[in-house]
Structures are given as C-alpha cells and as structure tokens.
Amino acid sequence: MTPETVMAIAQRALEITLLLSAPLLLTALVTGLLVSAFQAATQINEMTLSFIPKLLAVSLALVVAGPWMLKQLVSYTHELIASIPGLIN
C-alpha cells in the first residue's frame, strides 16, 4: 500500500463520517436554536428545557435518515472490503 492509497482511504472515511453525522448534528443545532429563541422570548431560563426537544428531534431524524445512513455505511464497507485484494498487491 502506498501512502497515497492510505490517504485516499482515510479521506473517504472522513467524508462518510461527515455525511453520516450531518443530519443528526444539524437537527440538534436547529432544535437548539428554536428552543433558545423560545426561551429568550418567554424569559424561561431552565437549562433542562432544551434537552427533551433535542432528544425527540434527533430521534425523529434518526428514524427518518437512518435507512439512508445505513445504506451509505454498508456501501462504503462493501467498497472497502472489495478493494482489499487490490491493496495487498
């Protein structure tokens, strides 16, 4: 294996990681912003108030995006395993 091959595999792994984490992180971000705006408007300063909406939103995002995420992960794993003979030389 050449250093370029290792870097290409690592780069693809990081891309997959970003793709898989983006839906959940963006959902948590948007939910947190909405809850924060609500708290600012109503002057409710309860720290635990944002936890339940974020938990529910991330769970819903996982249910909605889960099949796509699993498909991406299985596809990458299959691609990686299929490339092993070419990597050994």
How many other C-beta atoms are found inside a 10 Å radius of the C-beta of residue 46?
8
Q: How far is 80 from 57, CA to CA, in rounded Å?
A: 32
Q: What is the pLDDT of residue 48?
A: 82
Instruction: Give the pLDDT confidence score for residue 17 in this predicted structure.
Output: 96
Residue range 20-46, pLDDT digits in tens: 999 999 999 999 999 999 988 988 888
DSSP string, 14-56: HHHHHHHHHHHHHHHHHHHHHHHHHHHHHT---GGGGHHHHHH
Q: Which pLDDT belongs to residue 50?
A: 82
Residue in 64, 57, 50 with CA at minimum distance from that of residue 25: 57
Helix (H, G, I), strand (E, B) or coil at 5: helix
Please report which confidence band the pLDDT of residue 86 belongs to, taking 50, 70 and 90 as the band edges: confident
